[in-house]
Amino acid sequence: MNRRFFLKRSGAIALFPTLPHKHAMAAAEPINITARTGKIPIVGPDFPSTDVWGFNGQVPGTPIRIIHGQSVQATVHNELQVPTAVHWHGIRLPNAMDGVAGLTQPAIKSGESFLYEFTPPDAGTYWYHSHVNAYEQVGRGLYGPLVIEEKEPPIVDRDLIWMIDDWRLRDDASITDDFGDGHDRSHAGRIGNVPTVNGRFRDVVRVRTGERIRLRLINASNARNFALSFGALSPSVIAIDGQAVTPYKPDAPIVVGAAGRVDLMLDMNGDPGSLLPVVDSFYRQNFDLVKFVYDDKPLRESALDSNIHLPPPTLPEPDLTAALKTEVTIAGGAMGGLRRAKFNGEWMPLGDIARQGYVWALNDVVGSRLDMPPLIDTPGGTSVHLTIHNQTAFPHPMHLHGHHMKLLSIDGVALASPRWVDSPLVMPRQTVELAFVADNPGQWLFHCHALEHHASGLGTLVRIS
């Protein structure tokens, strides 16, 4: 798009909602979600609205909030002309409810419905999204937030959700239809030209001095990673990928990889009438993702003095002394050095594999089918020690369905405070160690959540009996 005109006009966009608690569905009631087309004003009134695919026709889809211990009963109706399904990202749920078409359920055909029923065992910030041709369906807007509230959450003035994303738009604000482009597959994935918060470019969030906000960041991008700086606010990180951490104030931008989540506690300490941009710096060009604008009237004179700790995670602790050790090497893509790999059971040169749309491999095996031999095949209750070597030139958010993993070390340096993750971002040439208890029976996907990478080979299975 004409960047100068685009940036000039977008600064005048009206204030858009930031998905506060009051907009959520009633807790524990049956939920109806319809995948259908819709229109949203991504870049504001000076441009046409953008045709999207959304749950209930909106982007993000309707927020779902329940209280920890309550069940989800969600009927998904498909009014699109293509099949779909819904994956409940980060939730430890029964395998049949995981939403992976062709593996855990049949795809929901046009005009059909599917009932998802499960009781989330963990409080936290999660999301739901399509898992059929995800690089296109998520890229067109099929996602929404899922929040499992603690029974006794920290006291805040507002609990906000930011689903951060990016879109690849033409000059008329329509979505480009180059999904699965060869460059995206072999490089960093589909990186858009319009970053958004809750479907709005250059959003403005009104705040008041002295206000305490719990901010739930959810990265719904196909592949874009974010590194967010909050200026003088000095946020406290209280959860990562839905799981509580001991609150800490980071000394660098807060990285939210594709599919990842970070919960922050913000005490709004700016002067009345001032403004503060939230800046992304993950890639070479920095940009303002959103602006906080302070009201002229303070809420209170000083910040709340109350506990911000969340209840500790209740995940089973892996036994590293008796763990099944598994090493995974990510190879391929542009500048990746992969010369050949096993494709559909046969060793083939990369050129022949690439002509079929695949350019990545895990342990020299291209993930091209859902009936392929699993990477891990183990009885339930086994502790697994997983080491991932990224030998490529690009980051990979590696998502394990149905489980959380404890991040133990990065490049051989043990973390002072190991933390639970479900979509750890493994940087180029980096090695990470993780561990988990394989206690959820079924066949589970383990894949890169840069969706074009998954579609072109970066996926495998974990089978738990």
**pLDDT (average), residues 359-368:** 97
Domain C-terminal end among 294, 309, 338: 294
Q: What is the pLDDT of residue 188?
A: 97
Token pair 């004003």 is found at: 41
What pLDDT sits at residue 242?
A: 98
CATH number of the domain at 234, please. Answer: 2.60.40.420
Tens of pLDDT, residues 192-208: 999 999 999 999 999 99
Q: Are residues 284 and 395 in the same domain?
A: no
Q: Tell me: do 66 and 171 sit in the same domain.
A: yes
Question: Do residues 274 and 330 both lie within one domain?
Answer: no
Q: How far apart are CA 430 and CA 442, in angstroms?
A: 30
Who's near 445: CB < 8 A, 6+ residues apart? 98, 100, 103, 399, 400, 401, 459, 460, 461, 462
Note the pLDDT of residue 294: 97
**Separation of alpha carbons 190 and 168, rounded Å:** 8
pLDDT > 50? residue 8: no
Do 102 and 126 contact (CB within 8 A), yes or no? Answer: no
Same domain, 188 and 332: no
**Does residue 320 come out as left (phi exceeding 0), alpha (psi in the -120 to 50 range) or beta?**
alpha
Q: Which of 75, 90, 85, 13 is nearest to 44 (CA)?
A: 13
Q: Identify the H or E element spanning 40.
A: strand 31-40
Evaluate whether 195 touches 201 at the Cβ level (below 8 Å).
yes
Cβ 236 vs Cβ 308: under 8 Å: yes
pLDDT digits 0-9 by tens, 417-447: 999 999 999 999 999 999 999 999 999 999 9
Q: Which amino acid is at 59?
A: V
Tens digit of each residue's pLDDT (9 = 90 or more) over 67-126 = 999 999 999 999 999 999 999 999 999 999 999 999 999 999 999 999 999 999 999 999
Tally of domains within the chain: 2
| Helices and strands of the chain, counted as H and E runs | 5, 33
Q: In angstroms, rounded to a whole number, what is the distance separating the alpha carbons of residues 138 and 143? A: 6
Same domain, 338 and 285: no
Please tell me the predicted confidence (pLDDT) of residue 7: 35
Tell me, yes or no, whether 281 lies in a domain: yes
Kindly state the average pLDDT of the residues 210-221. Answer: 98
Please compute the mean of the pLDDT values over residues 385-393 and round it to a whole number. Answer: 98
Percent with pLDDT over 90 in the chain: 91
Judge if 325 and 269 occupy the same domain: no
Which residue reads 């980051």 in tokens? 395
Give a yes or no: residue 312 inside a domain. Answer: no
The pLDDT value recorded for residue 17 is 42
Please tell me the predicted confidence (pLDDT) of residue 29.
Answer: 86
116-150 residue pLDDT tens: 999 999 999 999 999 999 999 999 999 999 999 99
In a shared domain, residues 272 and 372: no
301 domain residue, yes or no: no
Instruction: Residue 341: give the domain boundaries.
Output: 320-464
The answer, yes or no, to whether residue 346 has pLDDT greater than 50, is: yes
Asked whether residue 302 is assigned to any structural domain, the reply reads no
341 and 429 in a single domain? The answer is yes
Token pair belonging to 30: 């049956």
Q: Is 254 exposed, middle or buried (0-12, 13-18, 19+ CB in 10 A)?
A: middle
- Residues 457, 332: Cα–Cα separation, whole Å: 9
Q: What mean pLDDT value characterizes the chain?
A: 93
* pLDDT over threshold 90, residue 2: no
Find, among 327, 394, 409, 385, the residue nearest to 359 by Cα.
394
Kindly state whether residues 273 and 327 are assigned to the same domain.
no
One domain, residues 264 and 374: no
Q: Is the pLDDT of residue 220 over 70?
A: yes
DSSP, collapsed to helix, strand or coil, labels residue 218 as strand
pLDDT confidence of 214, banded at 50, 70, 90? very high
- Per residue in 276-299, pLDDT (tens digit) is 999 999 998 899 999 999 999 999
pLDDT at 15 over 50: no
What is the predicted pLDDT for the residue at 16?
34
> Is residue 303 assigned to a domain?
no
Amino acid 28: pLDDT: 60
**Residue 21: per-residue pLDDT:** 46
- Calpha distance 381→326 (Å, rounded): 16
Query: Same structural domain for residues 183 and 253?
Result: yes
Tens digit of pLDDT for each residue in 225-265? 999 999 999 999 999 999 999 999 999 999 999 999 999 99
- Looking at the structure, do residues 229 and 135 belong to the same domain, yes or no? yes
Query: Distance (Å, rounded) from C-alpha 90 to C-alpha 124?
Result: 9
* Cα–Cα separations (whole angstroms), residue 143 to 153, 299, 338: 25, 34, 33
**254-256 and 287-294 as β-strands: parallel, antiparallel, unpaired?**
unpaired
Among 212, 174, 216, which Cα is nearest to 193's? 174
Sheet order of strands, 86-89 included: 64-67, 143-149, 124-130, 86-89
CA distance 328 to 269: 45
Per DSSP, the residues of 365-410 read B----TTSPPSEEE-TTEEEEEEEEE-SSS-EEEEETT--EEEEEE
